[in-house]
Amino acid sequence: MLREWLDLLIKEGPKYGYYPEPQKSFLVVHPDFLDEAETIFSDLHVKIVTGHRFLGGFIGSSEDIQSWLASKIDKWTQSVKKLSDAAKLEPHAAFIALSKSIQNEWLYVQRVVADSEYAFIPLQQIIKKSFHSKSFRT
């Protein structure tokens, strides 16, 4: 059924100014259906995966979600460490960068990824450690 829909979209889409490019598309399937999906979509070169980012979140198994989330949190943790170094000279600028930029990224992920609160513990700890008021005293 999905293949029929995609074929129809490829055929009818250009009439409406939409030009699908299946080779740039990802099809997220349950691991039990991976082989079947690869067979059905092999001629279109659609990328068949069991998990992938989607609209700022992630679709896939809980293991895939946790792995993706861990890499995002690691990136944010490194950014917080760099900001804490900058905060020694420019505390207000570092706080603004944290609260107006980086923080909004992880708040969005917390809203779109269910049950993610425990994954954020390392980030919470580094913020407490790096942005503690004693860190800025000379």
Q: Per-block average pLDDT, block size 10, for the chain (138 residues)?
A: 91 94 91 92 91 87 88 92 88 87 87 85 87 56
The pLDDT value recorded for residue 90 is 87
The pLDDT value recorded for residue 112 is 85
The pLDDT value recorded for residue 14 is 94
The pLDDT value recorded for residue 18 is 93
d(CA 31, CA 37): 10
Helix (H) or strand (E) holding 19: none
pTM for the whole thing?
0.70
The pLDDT value recorded for residue 132 is 66
Per-position DSSP letters for 31-83, written without gaps between them: GGGHHHHHHHHGGGTPEEESEEEETTEEEE-HHHHHHHHHHHHHHHHHHHHHH
